[in-house]
A and B are shown apart, each in its own frame.
Chain A
């Protein structure tokens, strides 16, 4: 029997019960939230289970939701089951003042650079990462540019007349 989103959801609820929340299927991809302490347990379960077999990490990234107090930063995991060609996505949320999230590098080597990128742009500290330093931006950068409180434009320019740029 082919693997479907309903079966995956059922298996996850059997294993983790009430701890997983906000199940939805935008664009047909099963999406849910997990507490950040459980991220490795969920990843391991999805990897090891003989039926689910989510053994390829497509993407790992961050999102900043400045309006949601206490859960401002999200880490998003995208996984792929290569055998049944099914994708899954889940998010863990963290407080902007407590940025520790367990690293997934032990399970997926692909997570290494993607976690460095997420650290580079959002400042999320991946506990246990072997080499957590900036990957894309200049090393002297002292802020995390994709957080919403920082404007996109370069703030060091002095020749800029806001009126002429329609701002």
Chain B
């Protein structure tokens, strides 16, 4: 017996014409609203992340599906995929990075302006994956610091979107002072950056 086909027939009523993010916590009264600069900037940043895809293999194909109309990464404010590292906030490394490609990834990371975030998509970018061999970098965290790892070989578009949402969490909650802090400097120092 063939499997019955189910269509998405649930008619969800439109809540509002335009969806707007919730306002951050703060004090408000007639004619004023007071909140922290941190949360306002976090709110703005997390809903306008410009990703830079660094796609070398099959995870890149999944990313293309993620950007397409069916999954639509644009819903998360990442409408504009930049292809210049100087304009982008989020480096998405998708696919096997050979040791010879390592310096290129690092160069791209260095060309990005602070604040910048990095997402390792898939098993190869996270740990070398099945390529436990002399020619493949065993995870991009050997050359640049990584914020979010997305597991999978390759991960489905849902997983990539989940990774982007976690990046959004990090971006939204990040302290404005973090990138000037000693800990962050030490982190970059450990990768030999600046």
Interface residues of A (CB under 8 A from B): 136-138, 141, 145, 150, 152-154, 156-157, 159-160
- Which among A137, A145, A152, A154 is the interface contact of B138 at CB below 8 angstroms? A154
A136 to B98 CA separation, bound complex (whole angstroms): 10
Of the residues B99, B127, B128, B138, contact of A138 by C-beta under 8 Å: B99
Tell me the B117-158 residues at the A interface (CB within 8 Å): 127-128, 132-136, 138
**B100 an interface residue at 8 Å Cβ cutoff?**
yes
Task: Using A137-B100, A138-B100 as known contacts, say yes or no to A145 and B132 having CB atoms under 8 A apart.
Answer: no
Q: Is the CB of B100 within 8 A of A154?
A: no
A137 touches B135 (CB 8 A): yes
- The 5 tightest CB contacts between A and B, nearest first, are A145-B134, A153-B132, A138-B99, A138-B100, A157-B138
Classify the secondary structure of B's interface with A.
loop
Chain A residues within an 8 Å CB radius of B135: 136-137, 145
> How far apart are A36's CB and chain B's nearest CB, in angstroms?
27
Per the CB 8 Å criterion, the residue count for chain B at the interface is 10
Interface residue ranges, B against A (CB under 8 Å) = 99-100, 127-128, 132-136, 138
With both chains docked as a complex, state the minimum distance between the C-beta of B100 and any C-beta of chain A, in angstroms.
5
Contact B132 A157 (CB under 8 A): yes
A62 to B56, CA, bound (A): 29
Closest CB-CB distance, A131 to chain B, in whole Å? 18
For A136, what are the chain B residues with a Cβ–Cβ distance below 8 Å?
100, 135
Residues of B contacting A138 in the complex (Cβ-Cβ under 8 angstroms): 99-100
Query: What chain B residues lie within 8 Å of A137 (beta carbons)?
Result: 99-100, 134-135
Compute how far the CA of A136 lies from the CA of B133 in the bound complex, rounded to whole angstroms.
14
Instruction: Name 16 extra pairs, CB < 8 A, besides A152-B133, A153-B133.
Output: A137-B99, A137-B135, A138-B99, A141-B134, A145-B134, A145-B135, A152-B134, A153-B134, A154-B128, A154-B133, A154-B134, A154-B138, A156-B138, A157-B128, A157-B138, A160-B132
A65 to B63, CA, bound (A): 44
